[in-house]
Structure formats: structure tokens, C-alpha cells
Amino acid sequence: MEIFITNDDGFQAKGIKVLTEIMRQFGSVTVIAPKYHQSGMSMAVSLGLKQIAYKELLQEDEVRDASGNLVKGALRTAYLDATPASCIKFGLNTCFLDNFPDVIVSGINHGSNAASASCYSGTLGAALEGALNGIPSIGVSLDSLNPDADFSAVEKYFPDIFRTLISNLSGKKGIIYNVNFPNIPAESMKGVRTGVQGRGRWVREFCKWNPALYAKLGLTPEMLGQKSQAECEEGEELFMMTGTFIDDPTNTPLSDHRLMKEGYVSVTTHNIDTTDREETAHLERIGINRDF
């Protein structure tokens, strides 16, 4: 199996390193990840004839046991100074120009991509780029922003989730799977549940720039692709995006973020085709179609 991996936290993030080791048991792994942190980029791509730096980092041969069974697939890694979706585009146009990979796996994201976060996620944006090209694609996230987060639950349970998904693909076009792990010990996980995208919105999203907030989250500005000393022009004010999530009262227990709160790994299916067919039928009924 040929596996293509990226993320939105950057090539040095712990999450992508853990995911790479998880996936090598299934086949050959190619990693092309952003040079810098790229959260919130969704499907943004690096356009405008910009210079895009690419660097190959590491290559390892496959490892087999005495019986010839695969222990670790071959590995090649690189970074691209571009968005997550651009990393996928670049790989499909270079490493996989003649033969697409069998699957794209994006992550492991540091932070939840459930509910409304899925709309902004660079992790899922990369997976959607894969789906746009007809490749089965999976986004994987852990609900922790800690750069040294404990991914042991993902290591324990994601391999079986991956086997189930990849062995039972429906063949429907445009599908991505959004897998979100709650930030709890592996022994506390209740199980896996399919769910739906939760509804909600963020409020009070901007506050004055405060470097002390980075330390509270175990982060540094550099981890987010920023400078430690903020720079601004005369007359500018510096803000930072934080916010509070407001849960929509219409959510059901099957909402992905609520499943996570109950101790389940949530698996939500999204599609690159965002057409609302019920609303399309409604427009037809109200007579939107007409001739001029």
C-alpha cells in the first residue's frame, strides 16, 4: 500500500511523527508536510506564482522480519513551504505523478477538528484535496493543543479504525473521514461511534495580543510560525484569535464533539460536494427556475 501523509502543524510536530510510525505497518509512506504551522487554512493553496521551497529530509528502507512479513514500510519525508492542501497537490504532481497513492492520511492534528472546527481545518483541507482527486482520505485529530501531547490512545486504536475504513470503502465519490480522539487515556476510551458534524459557533474570538497565553497552552510563537517579538507598524494594534465555543441547542448526542465529550472516538463522514440537495429541491418548488 502507498500511503501519503501530511498535516497542518508542520513537519516537526509530534503528531505527524507518531502518525508516520503508525502507518508504516501498512505499507510505504511518503510524508510532505508544511515547513511552518498552517492551522486554519482549510483548502487554501499557495497560488500567485509564489516561490515555494521544498526540501527532502529523510529516507529509510522497508524492514521485514525473518519470515518476510512487513514490519515497517519504506519512508521518505520532505517539507514544503506551503499550505496543507498545497502539500497534497505538490505530492500528486511529483512523487505520485504516474500512480496516485492508495490513501491519504492527514494529521495527527494537535487539537479537535470536530463541529465547526472542521470548516476551517487545514488537516481536513488536505484530506479534501485528496478526495477532489478521487483518493480515499482520512483526517485524524487529538483534542489537545499540547505540543507534547499523549498520542498513545491514537497509537492503540487508530490502526484498527484504519483497517475497517480502508477495507470497506463504499466507492462513493468525494468522501473524507474525520476521526477525532478525545484527550483522555487509552484505558478510559469507551469506544468508537459514527456521528454527524456538530453545530456551534465561536464568540469573543479576538483579544489583545498577550504572549502569556502561549505559555498557558504550552506553546511558543515560533510553534505557530510567528516571531517571538511581535512587530507592527505605527498606529497598528495587535490582536490574537482565541474565543469560546457556544454549543448549539439543536445538537444531538450523535454530534461529533458531544461523542468526544462522552469518551468516544468520533468518525464523521464529510464530502467535497457541499450541495444541499434538499434545499435545491426547495428552490425548484418555489419557482426559482424560469426563462428570460
Using one digit for the tens of pLDDT, what is the confidence trace for 88-147?
999 999 999 999 999 999 999 999 999 999 999 999 999 999 999 999 999 999 999 999
- The CA R_g of the chain, rounded to the nearest whole Å, is 20
- In tens, the pLDDT along 135-187 reads 999 999 999 999 999 999 999 999 999 999 999 999 999 999 999 999 999 99
Q: Taking all residues of the chain, what is their mean pLDDT, rounded to a whole number?
A: 94
CB atoms within 10 A of CB 89: 21
Q: What are the cell numbers at 110?
A: 494537535
Burial degree of 65 (CB within 10 A; 0-12, 13-18, 19+):
exposed
The better pLDDT of the pair 220, 8 is held by: 8
Nearest to 161 by CA among 256, 263, 63, 23: 23
* Residue 222, pLDDT score: 72
Confidence tier at 225 by pLDDT (50, 70, 90): low
Taking the C-alpha atoms of residue 178 and residue 214, their distance in angstroms, rounded to an integer, is: 27
CATH superfamily of this structure's domain 2-198+249-285? Survival protein SurE-like phosphatase/nucleotidase (3.40.1210.10)
Taking the C-alpha atoms of residue 8 and residue 123, their distance in angstroms, rounded to an integer, is: 5
- In tens, the pLDDT along 247-288 reads 999 999 999 999 999 999 999 999 999 999 999 999 999 999
Q: Return the amino acid letter for 226.
A: Q
Q: Which neighbouring-strand residues pair with 207?
A: 240
DSSP class of 255: B
**Does the structure show a pLDDT above 90 at 211?**
no
For residues 125 and 44, is the Cβ–Cβ distance under 8 A? yes
Backbone torsions φ then ψ of 80, nearest 5 degrees: -135, 130
**Does the structure show a pLDDT above 90 at 50?**
no
Q: What are the cell numbers at 112?
A: 479537535
Distances (CA, A) of 195 to 120, 166, 200: 19, 18, 15
Confidence tier at 216 by pLDDT (50, 70, 90): confident
Least confident of 38-47, 74-83, 255-264: 38-47
Domain boundaries, the chain: 2-198+249-285, 206-241
* Residue 48, pLDDT score: 77
For residues 142 and 154, is the Cβ–Cβ distance under 8 A? yes
* Residue 47, pLDDT score: 79
- In tens, the pLDDT along 6-34 reads 999 999 999 999 999 999 999 999 999 99
CA 251 to chain centre: 23
